[in-house]
Amino acid sequence: MHFDNVVFSGGGNRCFWQAGFWSVASAALDLKPSDVASVSAGSAIACTLFAGTFAEGFAGHKQAIAENGRNLYLRNMLQKRPVFPHGNLYRNAILGSINEVALKRLHQGPEICVLVSRPPLWASRRMALLLGALAVGLDACNSRAVDTSMGRRIGFNPLFISVRECATPDELADLIIASSCVPPLTPQAMRNGVALFDGGLVSNVPTEGVPQENAETLVLLTRPFAKLPSIRGHTYVQPSQPIPASVWDYTDDAALQATFDLGRRDAERWTRSLSQPNGVESVSCG
């Protein structure tokens, strides 16, 4: 089975399911896409996978999570230090996976475009934060939808940035964190003086970031849905059950491993099912 494109959707810690799935499916099917679109934590997963450094980065990140006791450190307010550990842990995980050699390898691989959200031109930074929170809340009320859309309706604009524009590992970390930017959990991301936010505000499944014409696209979701889209040329895969890891829980390393393992099992089941012709393009791993 051939795929020209792969899309890594967002989902925080749930994206480790994508890593498990890809590690099995790519080897079984010899998948070598030419274009990749990603958003939020899906961008971190995509970059480490195609740089060939996921395993070592995952081990280091799990160790850091195991040593982190809380998701909130109120005492840090008195010391003018970050109350939430997520920003530092996230950056360290990226830089622990991507060094100069890995970045060069990444540049030589498929074109990877990372989605970020730009706020409306008329909105101040504080107003953009409030609008972003409103969009997230409204999208949560429509949990049956595979993709998000409320942020775009409110006025946030999509911006795809190629990983090849990142000259250093730090620049890549900045881009990935911008695509995942949810203040105050993460620092506010800036680009050319403009505040950037989580790309999931405009699309949590950024299929528009890859070529559409005469192309086959594999879309990796991060949570199960009752009904998947039926779009010619798009194959959707999803977890067979609710994922063990919570989106922003940075204290449970065992849940991260369980999420990765679920992705591997689902990919094994999926690749076996491909030998049974069924004529469908949207596939559930369940």
pLDDT in tens, the chain (286 residues): 789 999 999 999 999 999 999 999 999 999 999 999 999 999 999 999 999 999 999 999 999 999 999 999 999 988 888 999 999 999 999 999 999 999 999 999 999 999 999 999 888 888 888 888 888 777 777 777 888 878 898 899 999 999 999 999 999 999 999 999 998 889 999 988 889 999 999 999 999 999 988 899 999 999 999 999 999 999 999 999 999 999 999 999 999 999 999 999 999 999 999 877 553 344 444 3
pLDDT of residue 285: 47
pLDDT of residue 277: 59
pLDDT of residue 282: 44
pLDDT of residue 131: 87
Contact 214, 24 (CB under 8 A): no
Give how far Cα 143 sits from Cα of 183, 234, 243, Å.
22, 21, 15
pLDDT of residue 279: 38
Give how far Cα 92 sits from Cα of 99, 107, 172, 173, 241, Å.
12, 21, 12, 9, 30
pLDDT of residue 280: 39
Lookup: tokens for 68: 């982190």
**Which amino acid type is present at position 23?**
S
Element (H, E) at 82: none
pLDDT of residue 146: 86
Q: What is the CA radius of gyration of the chain?
A: 18
pLDDT of residue 103: 98
